[in-house]
Amino acid sequence: MSILVVEVLSEGIIFGADRNITYTDVNGSTTQGTSRSKVFKWPAERFLFGFVGAATVGGLPMDEWLDSIKDEFASKTSLEEIAQKIHQKIQLQRAEDEGINPAKGLIIHLGGFERRNDIWLPFVWHISNAYKLGKFGYLPDFRKTFVCSEAFWNWAKPYEIDPSEVRRILRVMEKQFNPCWFHQGIDLYTFNALESAIKSTFKLLCQQHPEHEIPTTIEEWAKHIRMQILMYGAYFEAFRPEGQRYVGGSGDIVFTPWPE
């Protein structure tokens, strides 16, 4: 696994991820020799796709596999319909790819906006075969069966957020430098601790430094997500030996603005 960062903001939705791809040889040794994107605008410009974990599907890198099935999604405008269909295809293809071998972890997020009752609302769908999250990260409980669920409104449910107020609530969270986020990847405890420290630092800079302001555009927030990914890659570069630098290779950012 690498690292995938998703943030839902009053300005839009942002996906960011590092580029390292890890390969495991027959002896169990790992190497990171290839750099590929793990976040895309797919299957259309207004929808976002991001993943961590198994980077090959149907014998192809994830981006090439997605491109090979893109035409099947050309007429679909519902993010839920897209998520459910990709869930089915991933389930079948990974089962074929793995055969009798143990399942490898794969976590996918799909994000975008849909108009409900004349209001544009954000949705983030979660597709995963990782069944247990421990204190420090995902436990090795990866199964052949994938689950598919909507993550953003599940996050919002305990707060009893009315859909008409969701954008205003997100704006208040941003003023506190605490946007709504979802993190997936390796050693989440370490990433979350480092990410929290960076956000606290920038919050202090915004309060006390004349050249720093709390972001007000999606482009500005995207820079902060890039900073988090680069920071985590630097952590692996500094503290992990070659072959165990699972995160790195710079980073990619994609976003979709909140429709007006």
| pTM value > 0.85 | yes
- Is 130 in contact with 145 (CB distance < 8 Å)? no
Nearest-angstrom CA–CA distance, 79 and 87? 12
| One-letter amino acid for residue 118 of the chain | D
Nearest in space to 124 (alpha carbons), one of 61, 165, 72, 179: 179
pLDDT per residue, tens digit, the chain (260 aa), is 799 999 999 999 999 999 999 887 767 788 887 789 999 999 999 999 999 999 999 999 999 999 999 999 999 989 999 999 999 999 999 999 999 999 999 999 999 999 999 999 999 999 999 999 999 999 889 999 999 999 999 999 999 999 999 999 999 999 999 999 999 999 999 999 999 999 999 999 999 999 999 999 999 999 999 999 999 999 999 999 999 999 998 899 999 999 98
Quick one: tokens of 3?
Answer: 């690292």
Query: How far is residue 207's CA from residue 76's CA, in Å, rounded to a whole number?
Result: 45
What's domain 3-257's architecture?
4-Layer Sandwich (3.60)
What are residue 93's phi and psi, to 5 degrees?
Answer: -70, -40
- At what angle are helices 218-239 and 188-208 packed, to 10 degrees? 130
- Give the other-Cβ count within 10 Å of 139's Cβ: 12
Using an 8 Å Cβ cutoff, are 48 and 255 in contact? Answer: yes
Please give the helix or strand (H or E) that residue 84 lies within, else none.
helix 79-98
Cα(6)–Cα(51) distance, integer angstroms = 11
